[in-house]
């Protein structure tokens, strides 16, 4: 993908559906009684992997563009898949489905692409085994492929060593098939879409501080879900609107759940000119529109409890930091190493290639901002968030940038480049 610098970014952009919420709507719809109607579903490859897995387990799912009908069969209605379930590039599919498979009375095998095959599954295997689950890493490396023999589970209280919504959600889903109340306490609260949505489907889910719990054997009932726009996708237009001179971008329909909206706080603290407009609630999630104007940014420290609320936005925050005056320090973010790529390494490699001064740290990075960046030959490393973050970086660099395998944006934002060029003045 070739990206040229632009003179300004102007206009309106409507953000595609939230990836985390789209996955969950399909999964919970499959386990509910009746037909769940999802609108503004994210037609990204990750969410399509979730649909494919549930179809493989006998759930009829009709998809017409971003409208999806899931004909649920109730908590105990899934059928044994006749083939290996393929989660593609999606860590969310892999980890959340594992919780459901461990409680469903059949054997299954779950795998994913080369990236997912490197991601740690011990974070779910360990607690699932404490619940009595039959789950094994086929290659014995704590990664997928996973072989699962489902059966009834024991309730546990799990003290998670990581703030991870995928771990928490996996265990809450497994907890539906347990013999008592299952709970998970995290070191810091991670995104809470599972808790909000499962409650709406009828489960008895409670949240207290960083602890979430679920009562067993709920009856789930089909819902109508309008998926809010994904703040993680909005982040690229927010960053581009702030960084590119002469820009004014109106970003419609952005989910601003406080467990996801850390990027807004940080962008404001960096000096960003951002207005939140039309705040409203859509399907139980807070949503607004954002008006973003070109701004002079300055460096900040990003660490501590805010990290889980912006973990997926750190690559684009690093790009903003490279163009901001002064130093930005990002710490407490070792989770970056186990995303679609090791994002400490991939951000560092690409920012350096563009001439930025950046030091990789064990749990983050330090960036000395304010140097002009130049176009370069970059790699997405097949990581959608790296591709989009560096497309933004390229808009204000000197000269042309080439991003190898830039088409991997189809994981979470298939129309990304089209939207970006429709707002760009050259």
Q: Is 136 a catalytic residue?
A: no
Yes or no: say if 310 and 302 are a contact pair by the CB < 8 Å rule. yes
Q: Nearer Cβ to ligand S3P, position 312 or 383?
A: 312
Residue from 18, 312, 379, 383 carrying the catalytic annotation: 312
CA distances from 181 to 100, 215, 217, 218 (A): 16, 5, 10, 11
Considering the complex, what minimum distance in angstroms separates the CB of residue 314 from ligand S3P? 10
Residues 267/275, Cβ–Cβ less than 8 Å: no
Which uninterrupted H or E stretch holds 28? helix 19-30
Supply the minimum distance, in Å, between the C-beta of residue 346 and ligand S3P.
15
Segment 305 to 364, residues that bind ligand S3P, using CB under 6 A:
311-312, 335
At its nearest, how many Å lie between ligand S3P and the CB of residue 171? 12
Q: Torsion-angle region of residue 205: left (phi > 0), alpha (psi -120 to 50) or beta?
A: beta
Binding-site string for ligand S3P from residue 8 to residue 37, where x marks contact by CB under 6 A and - marks none? ------------x-----------------
Distance, CA of 373 to CA of 322 (rounded, Å) = 8
> Does residue 166 interact with ligand S3P by CB under 6 A?
yes
Exactly one of 49, 92, 192, 328 binds ligand S3P (CB under 6 A); that residue is 92
Nearest to 193 by CA among 265, 259, 288: 259
Which of 6, 165, 344, 378 binds ligand S3P (CB under 6 A)? It is: 165
Backbone angles phi, psi at 134, to 5 degrees: -95, 85
134-137: strand order across its sheet: 85-86, 107-111, 146-149, 134-137
- Residue nearer to ligand S3P on the CB measure, 92 or 108: 92
Nearer to ligand S3P, 86 or 312 (CB): 312
Using the rule CB under 6 A, give the single segment among 60-68, 164-172, 357-365, 395-403 that binds ligand S3P. 164-172
Minimum CB distance to ligand S3P, residue 184 (Å)? 12
How far apart (Å, rounded) are the C-alpha atoms in residues 398 and 134? 55
Of 97-156, which residues contact ligand S3P (CB under 6 A)? none
The least distance separating ligand S3P from the CB of residue 426, rounded to whole angstroms, comes to 32
Q: CA-CA distance, 235 to 314, in Å (whole number)?
A: 10
Tokens, residue 326: 């002064």
Q: Which of residues 191-250 bind ligand S3P (CB under 6 A)?
A: 191
182 beta partners = 214
Scanning 78-86, 101-109, 158-166, 277-285 for contacts with ligand S3P by CB under 6 A, the matching segment is 158-166
Residues present in the chain in total: 426
Tokens of 111: 């795998």
Q: Which residues are catalytic?
A: 312
Contacting residues toward ligand S3P, per CB under 6 A: 20, 92, 164-166, 169, 190-191, 311-312, 335
């Amino acid at each position: 993908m070739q990206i040229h610098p632009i003179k300004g970014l102007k206009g309106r952009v409507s953000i595609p559906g939230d990836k985390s919420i789209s996955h969950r709507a399909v999964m919970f719809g499959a386990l509910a009684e009746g037909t769940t109607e999802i609108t503004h579903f994210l037609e990204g490859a990750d969410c399509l992997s979730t649909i494919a897995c549930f179809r493989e387990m006998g759930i009829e799912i009709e998809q017409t563009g971003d409208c999806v009908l899931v004909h649920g069969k109730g908590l105990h209605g899934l059928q044994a898949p006749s083939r290996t379930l393929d989660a593609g590039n999606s860590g969310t599919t892999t980890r959340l489905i594992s919780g459901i498979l461990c409680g469903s009375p059949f054997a299954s095998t779950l795998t994913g692409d080369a990236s997912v095959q490197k991601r740690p599954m011990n974070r779910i295997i360990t607690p699932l085994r404490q619940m009595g689950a039959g789950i094994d890493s086929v290659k014995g490396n704590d990664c997928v492929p996973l072989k699962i023999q489902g059966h009834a589970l024991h309730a546990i209280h799990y003290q998670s060593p990581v703030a991870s919504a995928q771990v928490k959600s996996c265990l809450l889903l497994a907890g539906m098939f347990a013999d008592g109340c299952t709970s998970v306490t995290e070191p810091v609260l991670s995104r809470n879409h599972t808790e909000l949505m499962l409650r709406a489907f009828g489960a008895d889910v409670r949240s207290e501080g960083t602890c979430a719990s679920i009562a067993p054997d709920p009856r789930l009932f089909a819902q109508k879900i309008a998926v809010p726009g994904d703040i993680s996708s909005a982040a690229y237009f927010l960053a581009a609107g702030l960084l590119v001179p002469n820009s004014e971008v109106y970003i419609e329909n952005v989910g601003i759940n406080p467990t996801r909206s850390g990027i807004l706080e940080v962008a404001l603290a960096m000096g960003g000119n951002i207005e939140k407009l039309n705040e409203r609630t859509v399907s139980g999630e807070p949503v607004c529109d954002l008006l973003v104007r070109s701004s002079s940014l300055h460096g900040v420290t990003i660490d501590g409890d805010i990290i889980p609320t912006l973990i997926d936005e750190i690559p684009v925050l690093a790009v903003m930091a490279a163009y901001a005056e002064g130093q930005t320090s990002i710490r407490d973010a070792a989770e970056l190493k186990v995303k679609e790529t090791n994002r400490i390494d991939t951000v560092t490699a690409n920012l350096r290639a563009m001439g930025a001064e950046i030091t990789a740290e064990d749990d983050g990075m330090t960036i000395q901002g304010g140097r002009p960046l130049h176009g370069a030959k970059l790699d997405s490393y097949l990581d959608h968030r790296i591709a989009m973050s560096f497309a933004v970086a390229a808009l204000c660099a000197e000269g042309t940038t080439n991003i190898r395998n830039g088409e991997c944006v189809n994981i979470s934002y298939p129309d990304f480049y089209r939207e970006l060029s429709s707002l760009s003045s050259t």
